[in-house]
């Protein structure tokens, strides 16, 4: 089967027509070409300076992109080209070596600029985090080098149609090596990726993970995600049909269920950070609306909307909610940093991992509640005119609600209570 996407040379960071035999179509269900680029090695101060320049430009058209459903290929490739996918690559292997807290400060800013892009890159950031936990070796360095060169990693892990977490995609040995066949959904960010991290089971039903090029023959990435929110995250289908897998593409990961998953707190805190970013964007829109567009209701007794005490109260409440949520996210990031410290000192990671899982669960709950409330209070500031579709202000609530549905916050509270009351550690499911 011909590839469904086409690669371009690193020196040409823009879409090109697909290779011969590739298929594309318009609208929902279209399959997109791959775009690649390179990025020079950057220091932490380089990344901070580049982020300060790039993020305002990304924010400028975010509402229009979402309303028109224009996928952010150009914006994501710009972030990669500027090295903004490399924050957590350790300094000793050529990366900036950002702390967990510094990375999440960036993710909060990115999510405030465009929550769709922040979630689309979550799989990439999480794979870099996974590499940090693996034994040193040339394959680990190889994947770090790919990220340092500006390449992005997507994910093809989840599936639908079976029990939650069940994997039907199979990877089997053959005369040429290995071959994988299966259909994935929730492939967040994979339309934008150069490389795909795939989950499958082998002939003995053992879980396996490996990394393949996104343009390899038999890979189809289909834009069929139609959720009410996070519409531009490319969270739809990845179809794998007899795709070749080489021995050196398999990842050396711990057996599932052996110890607490090392990257789960990071992966989950990313969602909480995106929720806070959504809340920050809603607050910014509320302030701009009150200053520039709102009319005070006739019985308010004021000439300007910004003088209405109830508008002030709504904006103040939004600010307080987001302030508290951001503080909990950054506090949880520091807990992840303590896991880093234990690993680097050769100490047992399990105790700080449990603490990080609990802190992330607390942050997740607070962030979701804050984002949902703030994105509703926005309309108390804006009034009836703010509900017009042309303003697209409802995207904040739609985005917050969609992310909140990923991992029910009631289970977060249950796990916290179980630990405090009965010393029961959070589940090892990868969602804590």
Residue 30 has pLDDT above 70, yes or no: no
Per-residue pLDDT tens over the stretch 58-77: 999 999 999 999 999 999 99
Domain definitions of the chain by residue range = 30-154, 170-249, 264-422
30-154: CATH topology is Butyryl-Coa Dehydrogenase, subunit A; domain 1 (1.10.540)
pLDDT band at 128 (very low <50, low <70, confident <90, very high): very high
Percent of the chain with pLDDT over 70: 90
Per-residue pLDDT tens over the stretch 78-105: 999 999 999 999 999 999 999 999 999 9
Average pLDDT value for residue range 250-278: 90
pLDDT band at 294 (very low <50, low <70, confident <90, very high): confident
* The two structure tokens encoding residue 228: 């009410």
170-249: CATH topology is Butyryl-CoA Dehydrogenase, subunit A; domain 2 (2.40.110)
DSSP string of 121-187?
Answer: THHHHHHHHHHHHSPPSHHHHHHHHHHHTT--EEEE---SSSSTT----EEEEETTEEEEEEEE---
The pLDDT of residue 40 is 53
SS3 of residue 422 by DSSP: helix
What is the C-alpha separation between 86 and 308, in angstroms, rounded? Answer: 45
Alpha helix (H) residue ranges in 157-301: 264-292
What is the C-alpha separation between 51 and 109, in angstroms, rounded? Answer: 9
pLDDT band at 258 (very low <50, low <70, confident <90, very high): confident
Other beta carbons within 10 Å of 229: 23
Angle formed at CA 160 by CA 154 and CA 162, multiple of 5 degrees: 135
Residue 49 has pLDDT above 50, yes or no: yes
Per-residue pLDDT tens over the stretch 351-377: 999 999 999 999 999 999 999 999 999
* The two structure tokens encoding residue 132: 């940090």
Per-residue pLDDT tens over the stretch 410-425: 999 999 999 999 999 9
The per-residue b/e assignment along 152-188, b for 16 or more CB within 10 angstroms, e otherwise, is: bbbbbbbbeeeeeeebebbbeeeeeebbbbbbbbbbb
Average pLDDT value for residue range 237-260: 88
CB 80 within 8 A of CB 150: yes
pLDDT band at 1 (very low <50, low <70, confident <90, very high): very low
The pLDDT of residue 303 is 84
Q: Locate tokens 């990845």: which residue? A: 238
Angle between helices 264-292 and 395-404 (to 10 degrees): 160
SS3 of residue 84 by DSSP: coil
- Residue 195's nearest CA partner among 222, 228, 156 is 156
Residue 24 has pLDDT above 50, yes or no: no
Per-residue pLDDT tens over the stretch 374-401: 999 999 999 899 999 999 999 999 999 9
Angle formed at CA 173 by CA 240 and CA 251, multiple of 5 degrees: 70
What is the C-alpha separation between 400 and 406, in angstroms, rounded? Answer: 10
pLDDT band at 20 (very low <50, low <70, confident <90, very high): very low
pLDDT band at 256 (very low <50, low <70, confident <90, very high): low
pLDDT band at 239 (very low <50, low <70, confident <90, very high): very high
pLDDT, mean over the chain: 89
Per-residue pLDDT tens over the stretch 324-356: 999 999 999 999 999 999 999 999 999 999 999
Matching CATH number, 264-422, of 1.20.120.530, 3.40.50.720, 1.20.140.10, 3.20.20.410: 1.20.140.10
């Amino acid at each position: 089967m011909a590839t469904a996407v086409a690669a371009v040379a690193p020196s040409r960071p823009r879409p090109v027509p697909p290779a011969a035999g590739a298929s594309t179509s318009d609208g929902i269900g279209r399959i997109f070409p791959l775009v690649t680029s390179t990025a020079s090695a950057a220091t932490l101060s380089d990344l901070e300076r580049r982020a300060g320049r790039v993020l305002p430009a990304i924010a400028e058209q975010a509402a229009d992109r979402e309303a028109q459903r224009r996928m952010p290929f150009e914006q994501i490739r710009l972030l990669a080209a500027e090295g903004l996918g490399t924050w957590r690559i350790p300094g000793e292997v050529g990366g900036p070596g950002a702390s967990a807290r510094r990375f999440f400060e960036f993710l909060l800013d990115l999510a405030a600029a465009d929550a769709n892009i922040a979630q689309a890159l979550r799989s990439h950031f999480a794979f870099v985090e996974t590499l940090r936990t693996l034994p040193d070796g040339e394959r680990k360095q190889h994947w770090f080098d790919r990220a340092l060169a500006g390449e992005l990693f997507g994910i093809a892990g989840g599936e639908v149609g079976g029990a939650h977490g069940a994997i039907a995609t199979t990877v089997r040995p053959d005369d040429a090596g290995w071959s994988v066949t299966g259909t994935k959904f929730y492939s967040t960010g994979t339309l934008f990726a150069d490389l795909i991290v795939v989950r499958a089971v082998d002939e003995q039903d053992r879980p396996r993970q490996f990394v393949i090029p996104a343009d390899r023959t038999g890979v189809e990435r289909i834009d069929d995600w139609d959720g009410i929110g996070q519409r531009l995250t490319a969270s739809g289908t990845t179809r794998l049909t007899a795709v070749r897998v080489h021995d050196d593409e398999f990842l050396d990961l711990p057996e599932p269920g052996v110890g607490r998953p090392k990257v789960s707190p990071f992966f989950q805190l990313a969602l909480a950070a995106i929720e806070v970013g959504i809340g920050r964007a809603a607050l910014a829109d509320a302030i701009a609306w009150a200053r520039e567009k709102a009319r005070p209701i006739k019985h308010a007794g004021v000439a300007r909307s910004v003088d209405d005490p109830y508008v002030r109260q709504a904006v103040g409440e939004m600010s307080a909610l987001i302030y508290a949520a951001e503080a909990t996210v950054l506090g949880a990031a520091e807990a992840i940093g303590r896991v880093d410290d234990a690993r680097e000192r050769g100490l047992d990671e399990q105790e700080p991992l449990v603490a990080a899982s609990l802190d992330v669960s607390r942050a997740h709950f607070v962030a979701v509640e804050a984002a949902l409330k703030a994105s509703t209070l926005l309309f108390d500031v804006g009034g009836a005119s703010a509900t017009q579709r042309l303003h697209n202000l409802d995207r904040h609530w739609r985005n917050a609600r969609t992310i909140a549905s990923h991992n029910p916050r009631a289970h977060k509270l249950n796990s916290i209570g179980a630990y405090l009351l009965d010393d029961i550690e959070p589940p090892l499911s990868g969602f804590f």
